[in-house]
Structure 1
């Protein structure tokens, strides 16, 4: 952003939003293929998954392409989908983990695609990108502990807090489906207050009205927002249509990959267009977006700039990126061209290099399906490895 004083809005959706139910099932399939294929003796470098999920009233359709252990069956995938739906919390007449009809239409990966990705095959002998495309990474100092834009960060945190209350603190009147939206005012380039907060959340008691829901959820929202950001001038819209009883895939069909702005930076940075969920890390839509976030976050953590935006591009079957571009504020003392040179020194951005550096060949993807792929804490089993800030010293050394 070049302006110093402005308002900016981002949204999030809960794990029970129909598109996020689809994302969760697709990512559970990626994890299943890594977990079971590695257990069966297959090299994790050879596993391939591109799983798409459609959810609607008591119906789930899973389609796509895979390569993995022959021991993975349709029944295993159906059971996995049911467990994901159960964990999210759907036991409703129109969408129930036990009763939903689930179709599995996965088939083998195209050999024409495989030859370009597999190392030693195709026109280029290195492992190539799984598709052409452009990917963006971004980080900012808005939220110091997470280095994320404030509007999308707090939109996520509101819905995470409500999910915790619903699933673990006995607030069972709330349903799984919800959307949030936070408008943040920036002054002198820094976020200072929330000028508007919008929340639509499913409720299972049909007698509740918008005021009842607002009285229930506002304390949780106050809990997660920074002190002083909510003022008497903050505009609230809680369930502005009135009732929200019918929700989830029964109220609106869901598809994998329809919430790409929610998954990334809430519109504060560009998006290349490719979705993440359901894809193994040979798909640079996912892995290169993770790599550019990782680099941007480390650059901001190293004090290179208060915000950094990175673009990379790839050609299918070709390992080396076709371009690397860095954008920082025009007044930043360290320019984009200098940072591009540093990036080339500190990380191998070939698909194999990314998978190796971030240790992506493992079942770590289901936790990323809701509440953003970025601005998360690295997990004990390698989840969110792209959120580590372990390149800071190397970046500082490269800039000397």
Structure 2
């Protein structure tokens, strides 16, 4: 394994055009599932200038007003400028609906094991789950800090500490590692969009970001910026940002959604897909397994890779990689994982209750995780973040 290096991860705020599209896509998924948990949904968005395009495929009897859902998300995020706002932006839709499909009309909580075995994957692909002991949430420190910084940047705008900010923002943080462990903060970059290109001046913006965004983000962290840490605040000058200045697309921030490029992730988007898509929920199941392996003390770093093929129930390949940190061989840990986790499509739906979570979160479940990461969250009770199998794994040796 690498020992001494600097690793950089990025995050973006909920107002970044790509994240705006992710949240609209997942809000559409939420609204369909709230009416019909058996709905099959795929929704994608593209935004540029004052135009938003929604392409949606769905098999359900539920009805969703796609433009209305999109405008609610745009308003909540805070776009109220003349060139892009929830009231006047043009929204084009291309909905393709069909009747409910028999293959999705089942109650996973009432199925026998034999019946679950007959529900196969409708997609192919390889998904990855990762966990490590760098943080209390068993995520890589660079992406955890990047998300905290992005969330703090949004908070400084929404709580009116820095009212001149616009919703779009990007952050990047470099963490120094020595002997494979985080040891310092190498660099912090914040690009914050402003309402007025003339105000505030660069020095005030820098001082405000340091005091109201960076400072609070590190209050509870063991590793903090030092006099050696490089700070870059709007290094390219004034940044106005938003859809009027750069386009957005659903599923374009996979590294931000997962592990900040510290570990592998699937090339498939997570947002905009209902829970019948194995390329979304398989990634949640893989993270769940990897996190429990680390929580059990069987490795300090663990990656679980699952490969699915169309028409087959179980993953055709299950691999565990611990990068030399495992107490047992990768092959032995792979067998332990195989015995203790259900990676079948209906089994994942049942264990995480994924088709019914939107009804438990009136403001939207999938929409909430479409910004600031799908993993390592502490602000929402994500079933795949539980470590309830750690003790079971310890006993299965």
TM-score of the two chains, using structure 1 as the length reference: 0.90
> Are 1:369 and 2:370 matched, yes or no?
yes
Aligned partner of 1:96 among 85, 91, 104: 85
Question: Cα distance, 1:389 vs. partner?
Answer: 1.4
Deviations 1:164-205 (A, max 9, x none): 221124422111000100110001111011111111010113
Aligned partner of 1:385 among 375, 383, 386: 383
Deviations 1:308-344 (A, max 9, x none): 0110000123211110000002253222111111112
Partners in 1 of 2:99 and 2:258 — Cα distance? Answer: 29
Partners in 2 of 1:228 and 1:303 — Cα distance? Answer: 23
Contact 1:117 1:129 in 2 (8 A): no
| RMSD across aligned positions (CA) | 2.0
Matches within 5 A, 1:96-245: 96-108=85-97, 126-144=118-136, 146-207=137-198, 208-219=200-211, 220-225=213-218, 226-245=221-240
> Are 1:320 and 2:309 matched, yes or no?
no
SS in 2 for 1:249: coil
SS in 2 for 1:8: strand
Unaligned runs of 5+ in 1: 38-43
Pair 1:314–1:263, CA change in 2 (3 A): same
Deviations 1:34-74 (A, max 9, x none): 1122xxxxxx2x3111100011112111103112234x14x
Pair 1:48–1:374, CA change in 2 (3 A): same
Deviations 1:339-393 (A, max 9, x none): 11111221210111111111111212111110111110273xxx52111111112
Report the count of equivalent residues. Answer: 378
Q: Where does residue 30 of structure 1 map in the other structure?
A: 29
Partners in 2 of 1:249 and 1:345 — Cα distance? Answer: 47
SS in 1 for 2:396: helix
Contact 1:27 1:277 in 2 (8 A): yes
Q: Where does residue 109 of structure 2 map in the other structure?
A: none
Give every structure 1 segment of 4 or more consecutive aligned residues whose post-TM-superposition deviation is greater than 3 Å: 114-119
> Are 1:335 and 2:335 matched, yes or no?
no
Q: Where does residue 257 of structure 2 map in the other structure?
A: 263
TM-score of the two chains, using structure 2 as the length reference: 0.91
Deviations 1:252-298 (A, max 9, x none): 11100000011000111112211110101111111000011111111
